[in-house]
Amino acid sequence: MAQKRSYEEKSIDPAAQEMLIRADEMGISTAFSRADNLAPCNIGGSGMCCKLCGMGPCRLTKEGQTGICGATIDTIQARNLIRAIAAGGAAHSDHGRDMAFTLKAVANGEAEGYRIRDVAKLRQIAGYYKIPIEKRSPEEIANDLADLYIAQFGQQRGELAPVVRAPKKRQELWRERGVVPRGIDREVVEALHRTHIGDDQDPEHILQHAVRTGLADGWGGSMIATDVADILFGTPAPILGQANLGVLKDDMVNVVVHGHEPTLSEMIVAASQDPEIIEYAKAAGAKGVQMSGICCTANEILMRQGIPAAGNFLHQELAILTGSVEAMVVDVQCIMQALVDLASNFHTKIITTSPKVRLKGATHIEFDEQKAYTIAKQILRTAIDNYKYRGPTHIPQVKEDLIPGFSHEYINYMLGGSYRASFRPLNDAIMSGRIRGVAAIVGCNNPRSSQDYLHTKVTRELLKQDVLVVETGCGAIASAKLGLLLGQAGLDQVGPGLREVCEAIGIPPVLHMGSCVDNTRILTVLTQMVEEGGLGDDIDQIPAVGLAPEWMSEKALAIATYCVASGAYVIFGGSSPVSGMPDRVSDSDIVLRYLSEGWEKLYGGKLEFMADPDEMIQKTLEHIDKKRAALGLQPYDPEKFGKSGDTRMLELEELPLQERIAALYGVAAD
Ligand code: BF8
């Protein structure tokens, strides 16, 4: 049995520690305690267990050993990995498919409560695909775009349409390597076909298709999800928000939305402000309805509406443990099966809403976009009716302010303003060495490591080294909870050059760019940096690194794959799913090496796994400096910049917090 960890070792978040103490006092298990009590299987964990047919499972542990069919360790690892990438890509892409269906329904007046909020983005996206926009209504354009996007899933031949949005040189490289996705569903199905017993057995050939499957996610399904969410719900711009369990309210009906698709959660947020619903809540004895989010749904409504985030992945059980949640409304992905059992200790109703996801013991109220607003109100009434059953509560008084909403469109605008929107200032800052490079720190929580520790340790250290950090997903919520997304807590802790840039533009040093499907925004930023000039002619030349220090989901592996194929160096924390045995028999790390050295030769990007955060930081800086040198840029010099910003910072530090936020970032602070 694994060793039990202290509360401080399980999470660095004080709100989580408080809830874990409460869980122990109440005798309730959580993912944290289950991780202590259940050691991972080291054969499966190293990718060396094959259970793809009824002759096995074949658990390989020795050099030269094969499965009953003769499958070698490297083949088994490659098959397991591509299956995970296909599942992750399928999850993102099926989300994108549903978004495209909603766009079609909105365009045809068949989706109650929705409208096209960002016509400018609709026209811009339509322009990428040469969909006519002149003298056409937004609905006509949206109808054509929806048809094009829906067709990407079932397309059999040719190239996925959004691939044209990648840098030209990258597109050519993908064509040369034979990895341009043909259709999203086709690549996922082929990944499953190739890994059936007796099919593709060459690990490199299997992994070539893994790249094509990953690209179908990043430059396909996920990109479609982000585009449509922006068109329907608005492209994010900076807004003041809050994060952590302290956003739950003792005197309000607490409704927590958890999952991924913004279609229902946006509607529930709208319905929660309906006077009829507010009156209904008051009649039940509450002051109103307090909405909050968990996981990527939290990010979707946080960055567009400023709705607070109750927490990231490992907070889903902890929110219920407060005893204050009337309803946790879930749709798809990252929803723990443990929720229903946990909720049975309290009055909390778990409400499933997706036709794809049911939890035994949960209340099911199925979402239907044609009656979305009506269903959202029904869900809220169910939560309000549950308020009278609330028992004693324990809400940790822990929360932090943050400023999310840095879409690529906003980053472009903030760098140059309405008339000179451009990535030039960012490229110039990197070229001059004010900004040493860029790190995207993304991905999950994993109860096998201390919640939020790796995310925030790596983030803080890179900021000190003048690395601009962009974040998404649960990593962004980790930084939010610990006060890094505000700037006021961070600008005095960032390197002098980066600080100068943040002060000049008025941005926090960590930019929250959205949910996990919004990692495609990072692809767009990198592409625009290439197109701006001065940092090479392809993504692999930019001094940038992607990190997922606490990854756990198959979606994270899909993201890693498309980022590597797009030219990025990607570092994952924790354990590798293809690690081989701890004592490394010689043929058990062929795949591990191929993901690094092999993919770097082919795509200029590579995927590496390392548990030690200091190693992550060191490798990130080495890579950034190597790319700077290859571009012929001056070596990074921490002494060179940062004198001019000090006066303003000292003045700002005299101001009360809310005035400081308003002065720094120009957002309403009330
Ligand atoms: O898609 S970061 S735990 S919530 S998988 Fe899940 Fe991981 Fe969170 Fe969002 Ni992304």
Interval between CA 295 and ligand 1 midpoint (Å): 6
- Residues forming a β-bridge with 400: 243
Atom from ligand 1 closest to the CA of residue 473: 2
Tell me the best of 265, 313, 552 to mutate to test the pocket of ligand 1, counting ligand atoms within 8 Å of each CB and taking the most.
313
Percent residues over pLDDT 90 in the chain:
83
> Does pLDDT of 259 surpass 90?
yes
Q: Please give the pLDDT value at position 669.
A: 44
Q: Please give the pLDDT value at position 19.
A: 98
CA gyration radius, the chain: 24
Interval between CA 309 and ligand 1 midpoint (Å): 14
> Does pLDDT of 160 surpass 60?
yes
Atom from ligand 1 closest to the CA of residue 553: 5
Q: Please give the pLDDT value at position 1.
A: 44
> Does pLDDT of 284 surpass 60?
yes
> Does pLDDT of 661 surpass 90?
no
Would you give the distance in Å from CA 404 to the centre of its chain? Answer: 13
Q: Please give the pLDDT value at position 235.
A: 96
Contacts of 627 (CB under 8 A, 6+ apart): 437, 541, 542, 543, 544
Atom from ligand 1 closest to the CA of residue 443: 2
Q: What is the mean pLDDT of residues 143-161?
A: 98
Tell me the best of 474, 521, 552 to mutate to test the pocket of ligand 1, counting ligand atoms within 8 Å of each CB and taking the most.
474
| Owner of token pair 């980066």 | 498
Which of these, 194, 173, 317, 323, lies nearest to 258 by C-alpha position?
A: 317
Q: Which residues line ligand 1 (CB under 6 A)?
A: 260, 295-296, 312-313, 334, 443-444, 473-474, 515-516, 553, 555-556
Which residue's CA is the nearest one to ligand 1's atom 4?
295
> Does pLDDT of 188 surpass 80?
yes
Atom from ligand 1 closest to the CA of residue 295: 4
Which residue's CA is the nearest one to ligand 1's atom 7?
444
> Does pLDDT of 644 surpass 80?
no
Atom from ligand 1 closest to the CA of residue 555: 5
Tell me the best of 315, 331, 555, 559 to mutate to test the pocket of ligand 1, counting ligand atoms within 8 Å of each CB and taking the most.
555
Interval between CA 222 and ligand 1 midpoint (Å): 13
CA angle, corner 312, sides to 210 and 290, nearest 5?
135
Interval between CA 610 and ligand 1 midpoint (Å): 20
Q: How many CB atoms lie within 10 A of CB 359?
A: 19
Q: What is the mean pLDDT of residues 155-175?
A: 98
C-alpha span between 509 and 197 (Å, rounded): 49
- Residues forming a β-bridge with 309: 243, 293
Q: How many CB atoms lie within 10 A of CB 392?
A: 7
Neighbour-count burial for 528-563, b at 16+ CB within 10 Å, e otherwise: bbbebeebbebbbbbbbbbbbbbbbbbbbbbbbbbb
Contacts of 285 (CB under 8 A, 6+ apart): 387, 388
Atom from ligand 1 closest to the CA of residue 445: 3
Q: Is the dihedral of CA 634, 636, 638, 642 positive or negative?
A: positive
Q: What is the mean pLDDT of residues 1-14?
A: 86
Interval between CA 444 and ligand 1 midpoint (Å): 5
Atom from ligand 1 closest to the CA of residue 472: 2
Q: Please give the pLDDT value at position 647.
A: 57
Interval between CA 516 and ligand 1 midpoint (Å): 6
Task: Name the band, by pLDDT with cuts 50, 70 and 90, for residue 663.
Answer: low
Of residues 632 and 508, more confidence is placed in 632
Cβ 150 vs Cβ 101: under 8 Å: yes
Cβ 402 vs Cβ 510: under 8 Å: no
Q: Please give the pLDDT value at position 667.
A: 53
Which residue's CA is the nearest one to ligand 1's atom 1?
516
Would you give the distance in Å from CA 221 to the centre of its chain? Answer: 14
Interval between CA 551 and ligand 1 midpoint (Å): 8
Q: Please give the pLDDT value at position 657.
A: 63
Q: What is the mean pLDDT of residues 480-500?
A: 80
> Does pLDDT of 337 surpass 50?
yes
Interval between CA 473 and ligand 1 midpoint (Å): 6
Q: What is the mean pLDDT of residues 14-22?
A: 98
Q: What is the mean pLDDT of residues 606-631?
A: 97
Q: What is the mean pLDDT of residues 513-528?
A: 96
Interval between CA 458 and ligand 1 midpoint (Å): 18
Q: What is the mean pLDDT of residues 55-80?
A: 94
Tell me the best of 217, 297, 334 to mutate to test the pocket of ligand 1, counting ligand atoms within 8 Å of each CB and taking the most.
334
Task: Name the band, by pLDDT with cuts 50, 70 and 90, for residue 666.
Answer: low
Tell me the best of 85, 516, 552 to mutate to test the pocket of ligand 1, counting ligand atoms within 8 Å of each CB and taking the most.
516
Angle of helix 119-128 versus helix 222-233 axis, rounded to 10: 150
> Does pLDDT of 491 surpass 80?
no
Q: Is residue 553 within a helix (H) or strand (E), and if so which, with residue range?
A: none
Dump pLDDT digits (tens) for 380-402.
Answer: 999 999 999 999 999 999 999 99
Atom from ligand 1 closest to the CA of residue 559: 10
- According to DSSP, the β-strands at 467-471 and 510-512 are parallel
Number of H helices and E strands in the chain, helices first, is 29, 16
Task: Name the band, by pLDDT with cuts 50, 70 and 90, for residue 506.
Answer: confident
Q: Is residue 533 within a helix (H) or strand (E), and if so which, with residue range?
A: none
> Does pLDDT of 499 surpass 90?
no
Mean pLDDT of the chain: 93
Answering whether pTM is above 0.85, one says yes
Q: Which of 1-15, 105-119, 370-384, 567-581 bottoms out in mean pLDDT, i.e. has the lowest?
A: 1-15
Atom from ligand 1 closest to the CA of residue 92: 1
